[in-house]
Amino acid sequence: MPQAQPTPSARRTAFDWTGAEARRRAEAGLVRTLRPRPAESDLLDLAGNDYLGLTRHPQVTGAAAEAARRWGAGATGSRLVTGTTRLHTTLEEELAAFCGFEAALVFSSGYTANLAALTALGGPGALIVSDAANHASIVDGCRLARAEAEVVPHADPEAVRKTLEAHEGRRALAVSDSVFSVDGDRAPLEELAAVCRAYGAGLVVDDAHGFGVLGEGGRGALHGAGLAGDEDVVATLTLSKSLGSQGGAVLGPARVIEHLVNAARTFIFDTGLAPAATGAALASLRLIAADPGLAARARAVAGTLHRTLTEAGFVSARPDAAVVSVHAPGPEEALRWAADCREQGLSVGCFRPPSVPDGISRLRLTARADLTDAEIGRAVATIVRTAPAGAR
């Protein structure tokens, strides 16, 4: 006999379950919303990652426009088909030379650069040792690499050593952010490199928050640690922070970059970075090379923000680069604090669960090289004025 069909009132559709998920998020206070911003705003922006204030620099926007006019709006295909322009290869050559590496490869985002490095250098039978505070793109890269991934306590070279020792003889990588995006603290790169070398492991470092801010003239955390260009070190970075553009890159030995061209799926099967973004990143890179003081100014602004906020009674981790965090009493207070700041003309980041573990909700401030002393004072005054009970 034919099966009885459900009545219309009992029929379920494929995505009904999303309603329950939405209710769960709402009850937990974890709803995320998109908030389009206008091209021009009176808000003082300490939430974005434009560390050197270059995203609106006339030479950068002009280079983006000229690249679009000359090369078109899109790359037209993957880098291995039609998506590689002379702009891409020039950016790669100058980026590698500036940061002190043998070669570089540009991707459509920093996220895809991390996925490429970890999946192409990992693989079945390999071991990846990952810091517990690493960025989500590293976490996803570890998951996709089909390697055994071991997560170790934050900024703990001894934990990395013990893990590598327990798997001695296996092909292995250790991976870490150079500067961690929540507290702005710096990884112990020299110690991590020494541990990796003792066990023949490679070191992969995401320098998204260090490049442009750390190292001589902004050449990055690995350059500052004396590790740039070493045969067992690979760097990834984004073009969307200090360079004020969009895209990502992997830097390392030429043989590693050649391997990525042939093995990294997010390179082989992804459309190349748009010419406008490539041209903008190249113009920014040349501005940084011509003005080493930009990196020092970003660090000085971060130091001033940290000093004045701690003097005002807030708990703030000492910034090692351009990220300044301010502890909040809890997730609800952090969210309300950020909203109150916005209402008073200041845009700040807000980190709360599930983006961070329970107990460490905070505001996240971006120290920009182009902030004036008056703007720094205005930002601090707004944070003080809107602080919730228990923040100090």
Which residues belong to the active site?
Answer: 181, 209, 241
Six token digits for residue 290: 């011509």
Under 8 Å between Cβ of 299 and 191: no
Q: Are 172 and 164 in contact (CB under 8 A)?
A: yes
Tokens 């590496």 correspond to 101
Q: 72: phi > 0 → left, psi -120 to 50 → alpha, else beta; which?
A: left
Distances (CA, A) of 199 to 34, 152, 196, 283, 327: 46, 17, 5, 40, 38
Q: What is the DSSP string of 266-288?
A: HHHSSBPPPHHHHHHHHHHHHHH
Strand positions, DSSP E, 86-222: 103-107, 127-131, 148-152, 172-177, 202-206
The answer to whether residues 219 and 256 touch, using CB atoms and an 8 Å cutoff, is: no
Cα separation, 156 vs 160, whole angstroms: 7
**Alpha-carbon separation of residue 7 from 3, 14, 19, 72 (angstroms):** 12, 16, 21, 54
